[in-house]
Chains A and B, each alone.
Chain A
Amino acid sequence: MATLEPVLEVRDLTTQFDTQDGMVHAVTDVSFTLNKGEFLGVVGESGSGKSVTVMSLLRLIPMPPGEIVSGEAIFEEEDLLTLDMKDLRDIRGGRIGFIFQDPMTSLNPVLKIGFQITEALTIHRGTDPEAAELRAIELLDMVGIPDPEVRVKSYPHELSGGMRQRVMIAIALACNPKVLIADEPTTALDVTIQAQIIEIIKELRDRLGTAVIWITHDLGVVASLADRVVVMYGGQIVEEAPVAQVYGSPQHPYTMALLKSVPRLDQKGANLEAIKGQPPRLASPPSSCEFAPRCGFAYSRCLEENPTLRPISESHQVACWWDVDKGEPRYDH
């Protein structure tokens, strides 16, 4: 299990996009810590800001229209958000690996996969080509690709979706990263292939001690993988706690509602409690709780003031004015 030694600390990250329809406040004041060897699940729906958060960390959002307005992201005593581009490039794909959702669009179709894996090694490590190829074969073997000596010479279109995602993982792991960021890495895959990928990542985490940020909308995947969970809604973190607490005693009405709205394979059809209404459009900076219009617990304060993320116990943080356990406002002032 994770020892509490932070590898990545994000504080007050705020990212906006200047679009035709006006400013979109995609991420507002997001803070979290990733500890060494820890598996952090980030859950949220589309537009909740989960992808923009991690893309902002490596400054992978298109700027403009995107702009990182404020915040810092401390990785190995350096702030990723102010680092100069040359040093940042050194970290991207080197000490921080990235796996994207769609392996077809993130692999270069005209380059052999062996080259795409070794590219990271030759750039970041200056490894010579022969050694790099051996390492590529080793990596392909590690992510469970059969006949790695042959496959290293394949092009992406010759591989299935699941195989391509394994190649993506191999690329991300090429330089033994301290942190692996996986943005919906199994969403485009079938369940039996998803199970394979999850198994590989679990094994690699245990073996290499890589800290992982895994972004998903699938509550089942997070339950099976994560040590700690961050729940995002409307560009903000609304709840953060160890996985057992988030599922066992969720404290934010959104987390509670989300868990009640998904069916479970191991239980038969009780009624699903749908969350009424629509996710927010984030057209203005939050001045009230973004979830209030859909929340069954909302009271006057929720419409007047945006709750910030505050600790309610040593390991549990929530951004809500209402204490769902006691059935009364959480703060007097």
Chain B
Amino acid sequence: MTTERLESGSAPTTTPGDGEVLLRVTDLEKYFPITTGLFRRHVGDVKAVDGVSFDIHRGETLGLVGESGSGKSTIGRVVLQLHRATGGSVLFEGVELTEIEGEALRQTRPRMQIVFQDPHASLNPRMTVGSVIAEPLREHSVSRGADRQFRVEELLSVVGLDPLHANRYPHEFSGGQRQRIGIARAIALNPDFIVCDEPIAALDVSIQAQVVNLLKALQDEMGLTYLFISHDLSMIRHIADRVAVMYLGRFMELAGVDAVYEKPLHPYTVALHSAVPVPDPMVESTRKRIILEGDIPSPSNPPPGCGFNTRCPIAQERCSSQVPEWREVEPGHWVACHFAEQSASMLEAATGVS
């Protein structure tokens, strides 16, 4: 599968079906109730995730992009059952995760791990780095005594830290090093699947590449599968095999990375790309931008119809009444837009940007 991916070039990339499906998410919903008053009367819901379906194949990286409040982190957490879904299904290697709990769920934990955004908040300041990394080993009784110690040292060197630093505390490390510790903890149990939840957002530019390169190297060595959540569209292009674009709790577009970046079909994807400045003044001086008006609507009170219709440059009447169907416009290229087929020419007519 890896070679297929590499050779696919600009041709339509991986279609669902090739490669083994590791994770299948269907119609996933996560509503957080809004309550009021003394008796916590239920007055509405924040629809953080509102009917999302996707597959992740073994060994691939699915990039998940979206702006703040789009629900991308919630998806990561619901997939791992850190939040329980209010609807829909999460199948991990054939096991329906939404239906199991307690010990059965705990047994699946070693297979699925997470790397958090903030390496300052996600490491216990009172635990040595060695015990942070040993905790999953201890919790799942994988190894003990000298073996465990050896494994911790091995993990430290795998992520590029000095094994002799196992006795140090998190505050003695820089942000990038702490993120490496978080990664060592995540891979300690040889998982199949890791949710990377904005793992580089809190890091300096020169350190981001270090961490991303480490994640890529680990993927190659261990055959890891990633759900890589980020708001950094340039980095997602760099790391992902397929990309999902999210807005207001729903997927807008999902396709192979080349299709999403070179031939986006959803107007929101086009606008997002257009908003990201490129580190090249020559390119920037000739670039035309689509400037979206207004803000992202509140997920507690989303507009009727397509969530993007209030800001969409090509919105028509039906967009504000009818939720667009999530459909496969080209093989492997999924879009939720009534006008996906004509969006490029409509956008050019409306904004002058092609």
A residues sitting closer than 8 Å to B (CB atoms) are 45-46, 146, 160, 162-163, 190-196, 198-199, 217-224, 226, 243-244, 247-248, 257-259, 261-266, 268-269, 271-276, 278-279
Contacts and interface: CB of A to CB of B under 8 A. Distances in A.
Nearest to B293: A196
Given A191-B67, A278-B174, A219 B295 contact: no
B277 A268 contact: no
B308 to A, nearest CB: 11
Interface string B263-281: 0000000011111111111
Contacts of A265: 233-234, 237, 261, 273, 276, 278
A276 B209 CA distance: 9
8 contacts: A191-B231, A194-B275, A217-B205, A224-B277, A224-B287, A247-B280, A264-B280, A278-B207
Interface in B192-238: 204-210, 212-213, 231, 233-235, 237-238
B295 A248 contact: no
Contacts of A261: 205-206, 208-209
Contacts of B293: 196
B100 to A, nearest CB: 36
A218 B235 contact: no
A240 B231 CA distance: 30
B278 A160 contact: no
Interface of B: 67-68, 174, 176-177, 204-210, 212-213, 231, 233-235, 237-239, 257-258, 261, 271-284, 287, 289, 291-296, 311
A195 B205 contact: no
Given A274-B209, A278-B176, A262 B295 contact: no
Nearest to A245: B281
A195 B292 contact: yes
A220 B287 CA distance: 12
A226 B279 CA distance: 11
B231 A190 contact: yes
Contact of A266 (B209, B275, B283): B283
Contacts of B280: 223, 247, 264, 266
Contact of B204 (A222, A248, A273, A279): A279
A221 B275 CA distance: 10
Contacts of B294: 146
A268 B209 contact: no
